[in-house]
Amino acid sequence: MTRRLPAREFLWWSLRAHWALALGLLALFTDAARWALLLAAFAWVAGVAMDRADTPRIALSRLGSPIVALFLAAAAADFLFGSRDLLASLSLLVLGVQSVKFLLPKGSRDGWQLCAVALLEFLAAAAGTFAPAFALFAFLFFVASAGAMGALHDQEAEEAGRPSGGYAVPARAAAGVLLAAGVGGFLASAVLFAVIPRLEFRQILERFGRARGVVGFSDTITLREVTGIKSDRRVVARVEFPELRPGLLPANLYLRGAVYSRYEDGVWSRGGATPLPVQRVGFTHFVGDDAVPDSTADITLEAADNPALFIYGHPTLIEGAFAPLLSDGEGNFSLARSGHPTLRYRVRFAADLPPRSRTGRRAETEDLAFPKGYEDVRVLAREIAGATGTDDERAERIMRFFMSGFRYTLSDPASSIREFLFRKRAGYCEHYAAGLSLLLRGAGIPSRVAAGYLGGEWNGVGKYLIVRQSDAHAWVEAWLDGRWVTLDATPPSGDSSPFRTRTGTIGLCVDWLRQRWDKYVVNYSMRMQADAVKEGVRAVRRTGAAFRFRGWGGIGGAARRATGWALLAAPALYLLYRLLRKRRNSAENGSPPGLPPLPGPYARLVRRLDRNRFRRHPGETLEEALTAAAGSRPDLSGDAVRFLGLYHRDRFGPGPLPPEAREEAFRLADRLRRGISS
C-alpha cells in the first residue's frame, strides 16, 4: 500500500519552512544584524511550539503593538544615531515585526503577511549577493512557497466554513506537486534573471551599504604602499583578451591604476590637474588621441573602496555602463564616486606607441620637477646618464645602473630613496620605481611613478587572466620620443617570488565557473545581449546558406510547393484532431447528448476506470464501472456510494449542486481515482 500523509500536516510545515528559509537567506547573504536574526529565529521556534499546542497567547496579543512600536523606535535610532545605514535599519524593523508575528496566533491574513515579509527578505538577499550558491537556496525557497500557498488557501477555506481539504494524499504525490511547483518557479525566475540585462540596481543599494573590498590605490604612494598589499591573495580582476597583438603575453602586461608625478618628503602624489569628464556617446568613452588600438581587454573589476579605473597600455576607447568617466589628462581614470561594486568594461588600447620625433620635450611640468634637497641624486643621475646621446640612450644607461649591485628584498629594505641609491641598494618595487624616476628627472627626462598590477595567473580552462592583490607592482613611465614608455628596473622574481599564486586545476575550474556566472548573469549587459542576438542571426544565416548550398536549390519547384502547403496545413490538421478527440472523449466518458462534458475530476475518474479495465465497453455507465471497482476494493465502497449520490444529483438533478456539495463530489472523485490506482 502507498504510504499516506495528512495534507494539512504537510502544508502546515511547508508554510513554516517557507518563513525559516527567508531568515536563512538573510543570515547567509546579507549583513543584517545577527542579534536581530537570532531573535527572529527564537521567535520562529517559540511560535511553532505554541502553534502546535494551540496556546491562546492573550497577553502576547495585547503586547504586540507596543513591541512593534519599540522596534520602530530602535530602527529610527539606529538610522539617525547608530549605523546610519538605511538598509540595516529597515532590516531591523522588518525582523522585529516578523518576530512579533511569529509569536502571536496566526490567521490566514497573518500568514499572507508573513509570506510577504519572507518575499521581501528573499529579494533583499538576491539584491545583496551574486554567489552561485544562492541558486540552491532559491530553489528550496520556491518549493516551500508552493506549500505555503496551499496551506494558506486551506486555512482560508476553513475560516470561511468551507471544506478545508483535510483528507490524506500519497506522500509521493504531495512531494511531487511541491517539487514540480518549485522547479517551475525556479526555472521561470532563472530564465528572466538570465535574459534580462542588469540595470545596476545593486550599485544603488551599494550606496547605502558598508565598504566592500579594497581594490586600487589612494592618491598617494609611499615606499611600503604597494608591497604592503602583496600578501593579500584576493582577486582584483579577471581579464579576457578578445584581441591581443601578436607577440604580447598577458603575463607581461601592466594593468595601471594610478600615476604619480609629484614627489615630496618620500611621498609620491598625483598631479594637480582637475579630473574632467571625457567625451562619450552612450556607454563608449573616447579617452585616446591619435593612438591606433591593436588589442582589446574585457576587464571584470571587483568591488573597490576608491574610484580608480584600471587600464592597459595607451587606451583609446573604454566601453562600460558608468558615467561620467573622469580623466586628469595625465593617465589617471576614475569614476565620479569614491567606490563601486563589481564592474565589467572593455578597453581598446595600443600596447606601445611609435616614436613621434616632431613632438617637443615636455617642459615646466610636474613630471620633470626635481625635489629640493636631492642634489646628490641629481649629480649621480648626470654621472650615470652622461651628457651625450639621445634620451633613449641616456635612459638605457640609467636602467643598466640597477642591473648590478642592487638586490630585491622584503626583509631588509632601505629606509629611504637616498639610502637605497647610495648605500644599502636593497629594497622592493617602490624603491626601484622611485629611484629610477628621480634619476631620470635628474638627467632631464620627464618621468612618473605608475602603480597597478603586473601580469597575473593565466586560467587555461577559461582563457582569461586572474589578477590578485599579490600581483601589485610599481614601475616608471618615461617621456621618450614624444610618448610615454614603460620602464621597470625591478629585477624579475619569477617562480621564486613568495607572492606567486599557484592554483590547481580544480581551483581554476571553480574560478572559471565563478567568472562565467559574473559575466553572463550578474553583469549581463544590453551590449552583450545585442552581441548574442547578432551572433545567433549570423549562425542562422550560415546554417541557411549551408543548407541551400547542399541541395535545397536542387529540389524541384513542385516539391518545394508541396512542402510549403504541408507547413500551412499542419496547424489546421492539429486543431481538427483536437476537436475530434474532445468529442470522442466526451462520448466515451458517458456524457449523454445534450449534457455538457464531464468536469475534470469526473473525467479523470472515468479514464482511470478505463485504464484499469473496470469498464468492459464504452456504453457502460459510470455507476456500473465504479460498482465493479468497489467490489474488488471493499474499502472504497462507502466513498463510492456517497460519490454516486452526489454525482447523479449534479449531472441529472433539477438544479446545480451547492458549492460545498460539488467540492465534496470532486474530492471524492479524486480519492476514488487514487484508490483505484494504488
Residue 555 is predicted with a pLDDT of 46
171-189: buried (b, 16+ CB within 10 Å) or exposed (e) per residue? eeebeeebeebbeebbeeb
Q: Which of 542, 549, 647, 552 has the alpha carbon at shortest distance from 591?
A: 647
List Cβ neighbours of 543 (8 Å cut-off, separation of 6 or more). Answer: none
Task: Indicate if 127 and 276 belong to the same structural domain.
Answer: no
Residue 467 is predicted with a pLDDT of 93
Residue 378 falls inside a structural domain: no
For residue 371, give the C-alpha cell: 625635489
Residue 464 is predicted with a pLDDT of 94
Q: Tell me which of 475, 498, 519 is where a domain ends.
A: 519
Residue 201 is predicted with a pLDDT of 42
Residue 393 falls inside a structural domain: no
With 0.75 as the threshold, say if the pTM is over it: no
Percent of the chain surpassing pLDDT 90: 18
pLDDT tens-digit series, residues 215-261: 456 778 887 777 778 878 888 899 999 999 998 899 899 999 899 99
How many CB atoms neighbour CB 152 within 10 A?
22
- Which ranges in 478-595 belong to alpha helices (H)? 505-517, 526-550, 557-588
Task: Indicate if 33 and 71 belong to the same structural domain.
Answer: yes
Residue 421 falls inside a structural domain: no
- Which ranges in 242-390 belong to alpha helices (H)? 375-385
Angstrom CA distances, 249 to 23, 494, 502, stand at: 48, 15, 18
Residue 331 is predicted with a pLDDT of 85
Q: Tell me which of 161, 195, 229 is where a domain ends.
A: 195
Task: Indicate if 167 and 278 belong to the same structural domain.
Answer: no
Res 560 pLDDT > 60:
no
Angstrom CA distances, 610 to 587, 665, 667, 678, stand at: 13, 20, 20, 15
Task: Indicate if 607 and 499 belong to the same structural domain.
Answer: no
The pairing of strands 464-468 and 472-480 is unpaired
pLDDT tens-digit series, residues 9-22: 777 888 888 889 88
Percent of the chain surpassing pLDDT 70: 76
Largest CA distance in the chain: 118
The DSSP result for 139-173, as a single string, is HHHHHHHHHHHHHHHHHHHHHTTS-----EEEHHH
Residue 245 near residue 313, CB atoms below 8 Å: no
Residue 18 near residue 119, CB atoms below 8 Å: no
Residue 484 falls inside a structural domain: yes
Q: Is 129 helix (H, G, I), strand (E, B) or coil?
A: coil
Residue 212 is predicted with a pLDDT of 43
Residue 343 is predicted with a pLDDT of 84
Q: Is 126 helix (H, G, I), strand (E, B) or coil?
A: helix
Task: Indicate if 187 and 256 belong to the same structural domain.
Answer: no
The tally of domains found in the chain comes to 3
Task: Indicate if 42 and 138 belong to the same structural domain.
Answer: yes
Res 589 pLDDT > 60:
no
Residue 406 is predicted with a pLDDT of 92
Q: Say how far apart CA 522 and CA 122 lie, in whole Å.
A: 17
637-654: buried (b, 16+ CB within 10 Å) or exposed (e) per residue? eebbeebbebbebbbeee
DSSP state of 232: -
Residue 540 falls inside a structural domain: no
Q: How confident is the model at residue 616 (pLDDT cuts 50, 70, 90)?
A: low
Q: What is the mean pLDDT of the chain?
A: 79
Q: What does the angle CA 645 – CA 648 – CA 652 come to, to the nearest 5 degrees?
A: 155
For residue 73, give the C-alpha cell: 523606535
H/E run at residue 664: helix 659-677
Residue 132 is predicted with a pLDDT of 67
671 or 497, which is more confident?
671
Q: How confident is the model over 268-291, as a mean pLDDT?
A: 84
Task: Indicate if 258 and 190 belong to the same structural domain.
Answer: no
Query: For residues 99, 100, 102 and 105, what is the CA-based torsion angle, rounded to 10 degrees?
Result: 180
Residue 331 near residue 203, CB atoms below 8 Å: no
Task: Indicate if 630 and 503 belong to the same structural domain.
Answer: no
Residue 576 falls inside a structural domain: no
Domain extent for 290 = 220-373+429-519
Q: What does the angle CA 363 – CA 438 – CA 308 come to, to the nearest 5 degrees?
A: 80
Task: Indicate if 177 and 229 belong to the same structural domain.
Answer: no
Residue 513 falls inside a structural domain: yes
H/E run at residue 486: strand 483-487
Q: Tell me which of 519, 542, 574 is where a domain ends.
A: 519
Residue 325 near residue 358, CB atoms below 8 Å: no
Task: Indicate if 231 and 324 belong to the same structural domain.
Answer: yes
Task: Indicate if 18 and 62 belong to the same structural domain.
Answer: yes
For residue 456, give the C-alpha cell: 597575473
Q: Say how far apart CA 644 and CA 662 lie, in whole Å.
A: 12
Task: Indicate if 505 and 613 belong to the same structural domain.
Answer: no
Q: Is 539 helix (H, G, I), strand (E, B) or coil?
A: helix
pLDDT tens-digit series, residues 410-468: 888 898 899 999 999 999 889 999 999 999 999 999 999 999 999 899 999 889 999 99
Q: Which of 147, 155, 140 has the alpha carbon at shortest distance from 178?
A: 147
The pairing of strands 220-221 and 267-269 is antiparallel
The pairing of strands 325-327 and 267-269 is unpaired
pLDDT tens-digit series, residues 171-221: 566 667 767 777 777 777 666 665 555 544 444 444 434 444 444 567 788
Residue 394 falls inside a structural domain: no
